[in-house]
Structure 1
Amino acid sequence: MMSMSYLIVKNLKHLVLSFKDKSETLLKKIQEHNIDWMHACGAKGRCTSCRVEVVKGGEVLSELTQSEQRMRDLGRLKAHERLTCQATFREEGEVEVRIPKMCQFKHMEYGEE
């Protein structure tokens, strides 16, 4: 059995981050590793600039927060997307994500995958 959870960012050189603390948001872990990541509203769940497209394993993430549900209701967050400032791991496992083009920084090198 896996002792940690893993976030794999497929189009950012297959970046793999491990999580011991399930209550830690995806964005917090990304920032701990000094990775530039868009989050225009200061991680308050109000803007969707930190969103990711979930490719695989979304079932191990937490339920949608009120902020994420509000963004979905407004049509600003698609069914396969999550906000990294809101999402945490619900259980151990792996989640594969991609950073949408509109959420990518110009100075970062992203792949196609």
Structure 2
Amino acid sequence: MDAESLRAFCLSFNGAAEEFPFNPETSVFKVEGKVFALTDLGADPLKISLKCDPDEAVRLRAAHPEIVPGWHLNKRHWNTVTVAPLPPRHLRELIEDSYDLVVAGLPRAVRLRLDRP
């Protein structure tokens, strides 16, 4: 998956927005003001940090050398993924899981508005 495809996929979720609160290079993808993904789309290699269930985060790190604890993030809840080695389908699943985790923490009315009960 290339940088533009990654950006488009992150923005394809209901209510998703891209912001640049840290610097002009770091894309921060949010839903209802809550972060679900961070990446520097111009970096080589391309990496993305994603929220993850703590138990799943450990399992993913053990199974995939391209998945490491979140860089400058809470390492219990965030993974940083090097994009290139992962199959695009697997990467899309990880991004969707991150989005779903964030949405699950939102009030019920907001979840329903986002069509994610």
Give the TM-score band, short-chain normalised: 0.3 to 0.5
TM-score (norm 2): 0.37
Higher percent of residues as strand: 2
TM-score (norm 1): 0.38
* Larger RCO of the pair (alpha carbons < 8 Å, separation 6+): 1
